[in-house]
A and B are shown apart, each in its own frame.
Chain A
Amino acid sequence: MNIGITDRNTDIVDRNADIANRDADIVDKSKGVENDVLKVEHLSVSFTQYGRGLRRRTLHAVEDLNLSVRAGEIVAVAGSSGSGKSLLAHAVMGILPYNANMDGTVYYDGEILTKERAKRLRGREIVLVPQSVSYLDPLMKIGPQVTKGKNDAATREKSRRVLAGYGLSEDVEEKYPFQLSGGMIRRVLIATAVMETPKLVIADEPTPGLHPEAAKRVMGHFREIADTGAGVLLITHDLELALSAADRITVLYGGRTVGEAAAADFLCEEKLEHPYMKALCRSMPKNWNWDGYKLCDSGEILEYMRKEYGR
């Protein structure tokens, strides 16, 4: 019980520090702030790397990234591979690798998400849906992985119910990860998230390798989760998928935010401000016209991006 009290005390301290920070936001975004489950401001993640000989460089994987996720909403972060998208998830949860440096501020539920607070909340209120089978212990059966090893009747009952909800039969619990198909693994990974009652779900590339039908079904699962009042942060390289499922989309380029737009804005190019986003919009199959195709193909826009964003 003592622990609870100290927790609350630190929370109050956090909140006080936070209120000062938030004043600036309230001015222009008076409506949204209270509902923000997650708010990321000026996030940077960098690594120090050694090359051959005495060469040494700092690699900026994520630079000055901003985004927010409201309750009940799916926000997609879309960017090409290698744009540091996974690191965003790891940074929010406080599980970056030991050689990474992180800068910037993360707010969760209106308060600064410190490393200690993230440690307390992750796996409970903040859950991760990782991208592949390698995130499951190869030598542990599915059952104990879903229940995190808890063996009481209630937990086992819940795990059975959750797995059944995703169309996974009871014998899946007795299987090892390598014995399941890609689609089943995906559903198991989502099930681990729903075992808790999350307020924020971070899904890191939850669909690659799935055929469009299955991907759509997976997205449906995330919509269900959002409908229960949780915020969903969807990290993906697949813009079209993001558009079909998300309410808002943040586009990354080389680890930096290019811009943010409502999913609906992508239907109409004129509503988008940034040339890269305009080009992305045009390059989508359903919006394909000769002009857009040429623009991307010629690399003009990429050249522009390289100049602007240094990649």
Chain B
Amino acid sequence: MTQKTGKLKFIGKQAVRMAVLLFLASVFAFALLTVSPVDPLQTNVGQTALGSMSPEQIEKLKAYWGAGVPPVKRYLSWAAAFIRGDMGISLLYRRPVAAVIAEKLANSALLLFSAWLISGALGFLMGILAGKRRGGLADRIVTGVSLVIAGTPAFWIGMVFLMIFAVQLKLFPIGLSVPIGVAADEVTLADRLYHAVLPAAALSVTGISQIALHTREKMIEVMESDYVLFARARGESETAVILRHGLRNILLPAMTLQLSSVSEIIGGSVLIEQVFSYPGLGQAAVTAGLGADVPLLLGITVITAAIVFLGNMTANILYGVVDPRIREGAMRG
């Protein structure tokens, strides 16, 4: 077999695996929402809401959630519509779920992406500093800080930031992604950025500890490896050891770590957005959960799972492409 087809096969395998996982996630979420004793049509939509909907919308709703339709059939009709891009109508927002998710995701994107990058970069640096010398001062500080962050609920970090920087120092607004009382088309980019700083900072902090602790572990592994010992025996300076061997061998695991931290950042954003009343995807998920908006909750779950699985798949593929041991060896098989 040539190397190229081997590579394609490897990538294909990863894609199939992701599709299966996504399918299972949707089945799992659907099953959970179905067994719930909460009846979304009764508790949520109510008479007035049903009255304000068009007959087709009500028909559609009943097709999903109507009594008497077996769950498997309901799932299949949901899945068929989902593949066509139709995720149903949100019961709370009275709009197509796809449109709601697109809008909320656009709001969250800035927050998620900046926190993902900042926590990744800071965590990586801290991990390298700590792992450079096990038990050293830097190691003790970084490990301590990381443990405290890991032991602090994300929402409370947000609240402390809010208390210090918004309430006490009045440097930043208390919440929301735009100023209150300003028409949507008058909101400037600067306004958006200004409102996103504090939540993004809080979210970044919550993401640091995992990356830092894992990078530290990998770095220690490298620094105590035989090849680093040999590099030292050959008179390479400590800086050269870190730059030439440390970074080279830590980059791949760090990349995987960074790509798989997506799940954690999204999870954290649910809490952080709640604290800052930031109208993003996370807050929408909470609202949907509390308000029994099943189509929206299902849509959000599947979309977030897709983002997370995509991150994991990218990590696996990158590993195969970048690591010479897999690239030129194990990948044929």
A contacts B directly in the complex (CB < 8 Å)?
yes
Using a CB–CB cutoff of 8 Å, the interface residues on chain A facing chain B are 90, 93, 95, 97-98, 119, 121-124, 127-128, 130, 132, 134-140, 148-149, 176, 178-179, 192
Asked if A136 contacts B227 (CB within 8 A), the reply is yes
Interface of B is mostly: helix
- Could you write out 21 A-B pairs with CB less than 8 Å apart? A95-B229, A95-B233, A98-B134, A122-B232, A123-B233, A128-B234, A130-B226, A130-B229, A130-B233, A135-B226, A135-B229, A135-B230, A137-B248, A138-B227, A138-B249, A139-B324, A140-B245, A149-B240, A176-B324, A178-B324, A178-B329
Out of A139, A178, A192, which one reaches B234, CB within 8 Å?
Answer: A192
Interchain CB contact under 8 A, B328 and A179: yes
> A140 — nearest CB in chain B belongs to which residue?
B248
Q: Tell me if B230 and A139 are in contact (CB < 8 A).
A: no
How near does chain B come to A150, taking the closest CB pair, in angstroms?
Answer: 11
Closest approach, in angstroms, between the C-beta of A244 and any C-beta of chain B? Answer: 26
Binding site for A on B (CB under 8 A): 133-135, 224-227, 229-236, 240, 244-245, 248-249, 252, 323-325, 328-329
Contact, CB under 8 Å: A138 / B236: no
Q: Decide if A98 touches B230 in the complex (CB within 8 Å).
A: no
Determine the chain B residues whose CB is within 8 A of the CB of A192 once the complex forms.
234
Which residues of A have CB within 8 Å of B240?
149
Given contacts A122-B234, A137-B249, contact A90 B328 (CB under 8 A): no
Q: A90-B229, A130-B230, A134-B225 are in contact. List 13 more A-B contacts (CB 8 A).
A: A95-B232, A121-B235, A123-B235, A130-B233, A134-B226, A134-B227, A137-B227, A137-B244, A137-B249, A138-B325, A148-B234, A149-B240, A176-B324
Let me know if A123 and B236 touch, CB within 8 A.
Answer: yes
User: Do B248 and A176 touch (CB < 8 A)?
Assistant: no
A176–B252 Cα distance when bound, in Å, is 16
Chain B residues, Cβ within 8 Å of A176: 324-325, 328
CB contacts between A and B, total, < 8 Å: 71
Q: A123-B234, A139-B323, A140-B248 are in contact. Are A98 and B226 (CB under 8 A)?
A: no
CB-CB nearest in chain A for B230: A135
9 A-B pairs closest in CB distance: A123-B235, A123-B234, A135-B230, A134-B226, A128-B233, A135-B226, A137-B227, A176-B324, A95-B232
Interchain nearest-CB distance for B229 vs A (Å): 6
Taken together as a complex, chains A and B put the C-alpha atoms of A178 and B323 apart, in Å, by 12
Q: How far is the CA of A139 from the CA of B227 in the complex (A)?
A: 11
Nearest CB in chain B to that of A192: its residue: B234
Cβ contacts under 8 Å, B323 to chain A: 139
State the Cβ distance, B241 to closest chain A Cβ, in Å: 10
Chain A min CB distance to B237 (Å): 9
Closest to B240 in A: A149
The 8 Å CB contact of A93, one of B227, B233, B244, B248, is B233
Query: Is B245 in contact with A137, judged by CB distance below 8 angstroms?
Result: yes
**C-alpha spacing A93/B232, complex, angstroms:** 9
Residues on the B chain within 8 Å of A97, using CB: 224
A178 touches B227 (CB 8 A): no
A97 to B224, CA, bound (A): 8
